[in-house]
Amino acid sequence: MVSKHPLHLFIFLLFLPVWSSAKDTINNGFSIEVIHRDSPLSPFYNTSATPFHRFMEAAQRSLACSHSYRSSFASTSSIQSTVYPDIADHLMKFSIGTPPVQVLVVMDTGSDLVWSRCKPCVDCIGRSVPLFDPQQSSTYIELSCDSPQCKALDASACDKRPKCKYTYGYGDGSSTSGVLSTETLTFDTTDGGTFSIHDVAFGCGHNNSISFSDHLYGLAGLGRLSYSLISHLGPYIGGKFSYCFVPFQENTSTSIMSFGDQAVITGNDVVSTPLLGEDSGTFYYVLLEHISVGGMMLEVPPPKASGIGNMFIDSGTTVTLIDSKIFQQLKQALNGVVKLPPTTDPGKTFLCYNATSRDGFPTITFHFAGNADLVLQPLNAFTEPSPDGLVCLVMLPTDGMPIFGNTVQHNFHVSYDLVGKKVSFKPTQCSNVSK
């Protein structure tokens, strides 16, 4: 997503929050728990679904991310994200306001705005949905049209209105509308403590599409633009954050997201590749050079635009999308290695094989720029067998921008360094990461 607005640096400076935690918290970083939406800890949990069915349902939710939408930003009518808000796989908790009200939101590296349903709520009439009541918070402040934040987003959009109103749209046509405000956000850390940041600009949504889940307050955008949660935290965490996602079959465990020094990963098995497209919008772009399987090296097409990369990493997309021409080559290579007749899932979407385990299935290596060879084990690249004995590749072809989805990231500690402009990967048993 490429923004039309050149004021990102200026906006970033205006949106910096005030940090109120102890100095050692800033220096040492902190960690929080995140949960998969199909975890028993999630309100979406389906007790009757198998891991195979959970993957297929999640994959169908996330396939919309392969579409490309025109995007733009304006403070009253046209903030736009290319993602679908209600499909992301991971959820996070934090509290808003004083006294703090805990909220459950979608965690997504593919969008930027942090927002919550707020009272009064037009779309909530006749529905039982969680709401944040800003009138009960002593730290809630609505931003005016004269505020630097509002002017930086679109200096002419307010048309002398007293409040900085916004509409933020998503790729599926849904949206959230309300007042751009500031609040205190408080996080419960895995060490039993808390930390708070003040004056965080967020969307207090008073009129939101009814397609947003009744179980959730809103969404926490973790993208690269100046109004994302990561940008608010950036100066205080050194531009570093990481996550380690637990695989589907271990969904009784929470995953970990870390910030600052706790997000740094080390060891001989760490590989790193440059982050590209810093000025090209929300996404975390990388350069994929080759894919190899069974001794066959497949060359990946170069980026269509210089400096952007030819794939982006996304925590909110289940499947991995590969250039359609390369996918056909990968399919042929896998058929030669697996030695089983290829078939498809019942929905005729995925490449599958009749098998009762992933034993004997090959590793697939993604060769990123900077000699970052990421070896995907069968756990990452293929589904757990279905009750009917079906194992499927978790990748699909696309004619749009390829995406490195979250299933292939399971049991990898993925660390982003926005200052050093790199992303690193380390094979890790994520369920054992210190909580």
Of 108, 154, 199, 323, the catalytic one is 108
Of 314, 323, 345, 417, the catalytic one is 314
Residue 314 a catalytic site member: yes
What single-letter DSSP state applies at residue 262? G
* SS3 per-residue string spanning the chain: CCCCCCCHHHHHHHCCCEECCCHHHHHHCEEEEEEECCCCCCCCCCCCCCHHHHHHHHHHHHHHHHCCCCCCCCCCCCEECCCCCCCCCEEEEEEECCCCEEEEEEEECCCCCEEEEECCCHHHCCCCCCCECHHHCCCCEECECCCHHHHHHCCCCCCCCCECEEEEECCCCCEEEEEEEEEEEEEECCCCCEEEEEEEEEEEEEEECCCCCCCCCEEEECCCCCCCHHHHHHHHHCCEEEEECCCHHHCCCCEEEEEHHHHCCCCCCCEEEECECCCCCCCEEECEEEEEECCEEEECCCCCCCCCCCEEECCCCCCEEEEHHHHHHHHHHHHHHHCCCEEECCCCCCEEEECCCCCCCCCEEEEECCCEEEEECHHHHECCCCCCCEEEECEEEECCCCEECCHHHCCEEEEEECCCCEEEEEECCHHHCCC
Active site residues: 108, 314
